[in-house]
Amino acid sequence: MLSRLPQTPLKGWLQGVSLSWPEIFGTTITATSTPLYLPPTMFLLVVAITYLLHQMKPHDLGLAVGRSLPVLQKTALALGAAVLMARVFINSSVNGAGLPSMPLALAEGMSALAGQTWPLFAAGVGMVGAFVSGSVTVSNMMFSLFQFGVAENLGTSAPLILALQTVGASAGNVICVSNVVAAAATVGLLGREGVLMRQLLPVVVYYLAMAGVLGMGWLAFWGGKGGIQGSKFKVQGWLDVCLLTESGVLG
């Protein structure tokens, strides 16, 4: 938390170190990273503090790392592939035909179809993303720009729509296959994943319905406040928040 508070100088120091790759492969896309500001850096710092605080031996630290790495392998592979897919999805506007990016093209169609009732369905998009990927982070990376585009087209509140996206992604985590399989294996119910998912489905539907009703209510009573036109809200900032919210549970 100290590394994220703007009131402390620590945030500025950490963000002061950045790595940049301009004009990737001759395109107009530039990738920039602040390695010291990334959440994994904080976790590595905690590992170092724990090692010193508990006066661990190098052998004990090696055992702990050895037990952790196999758990991270599948998650790292899935998340790494998803991040690459999300970046292609978001930067698909870089094309010779001058077409908009895929999420913005989808946003145009959905805003025309749903209109001002979009808050009823915004959480459902987040749910689908998390159900397929098994990660709130990946769902937000894939669909935040899409949700932002819908909010912009409708002239409604971007923070509201993006909040519903995250709520829906959390609901999708309840029934995503990877989570259900892991839970079933833990309690000795392997092979009964379908039964578990059917029992959890009403919970997810209730979750999404309540999110949609609350979103429509917020829009009805306070729709003119905090809208996209007067907001300095940034999609990249929202993605940073999503990554932090996921903390270390990147799967």
Q: How confident is the model at residue 52 (pLDDT cuts 50, 70, 90)?
A: very high
Is 240's pLDDT higher than 70? Answer: no
pLDDT at 209: 92
3-state secondary structure of 21: strand
pLDDT at 79: 67
Report d(CA 5, CA 20) in Å as an integer.
24
Q: Is residue 176 part of a domain?
A: yes
pLDDT at 29: 80
Q: Is residue 141 part of a domain?
A: yes
Q: CB–CB of 70/242 below 8 Å?
A: no
Is 76's pLDDT higher than 90? Answer: no
pLDDT at 39: 84
Q: How confident is the model at residue 78 (pLDDT cuts 50, 70, 90)?
A: low
pLDDT at 210: 92
Q: Looking at 176-234, list the stretches that DSSP marks H as alpha helix, in order from N- to C-terminal side.
A: 177-186, 193-222
Q: Is residue 27 part of a domain?
A: no
Q: How confident is the model at residue 244 (pLDDT cuts 50, 70, 90)?
A: very low
Q: Is residue 63 part of a domain?
A: no
Task: Determine the distance from the C-alpha atom of residue 24 to the mean position of all C-alpha atoms in its chain, rounded to a whole number.
Answer: 24
Q: CB–CB of 176/80 below 8 Å?
A: no
Q: How confident is the model at residue 74 (pLDDT cuts 50, 70, 90)?
A: low
pTM, two decimal places:
0.60
Residues 9, 12, 16, 17, CA torsion sign: positive
Range of lowest pLDDT (68-72, 120-124, 160-164, 215-219) = 68-72
Q: What is the pLDDT of residues 158-212, one digit of tens each?
A: 888 899 999 999 998 888 877 787 777 777 777 787 888 888 899 999 989 999 9
Q: Is residue 201 part of a domain?
A: yes
pLDDT at 167: 92
Q: What is the pLDDT of residues 89-137, one digit of tens each?
A: 777 877 778 888 787 787 778 777 878 888 888 898 888 888 877 778 8
Which residues span the domain enclosing 119? 74-246
Instruction: Give the chain's mean pLDDT.
Output: 79
pLDDT at 47: 92
Total number of domains in the chain: 1
Q: Is residue 231 part of a domain?
A: yes
pLDDT at 75: 65
pLDDT at 247: 39
Please choose, from the candidates 64, 43, 1, 2, the residue with its C-alpha nearest in 3D space to the C-alpha of residue 248: 43
Q: Is residue 251 part of a domain?
A: no
Q: How confident is the model at residue 241 (pLDDT cuts 50, 70, 90)?
A: very low
Q: Is residue 192 part of a domain?
A: yes
Reported residue count of the chain is 251
Across 46-72, average pLDDT: 88
pLDDT at 250: 38
The secondary structure of 65-103 as a DSSP string is HHHHHHHHHHHHHHHHHHHHHHHHHHTTT-STT-PPPHH
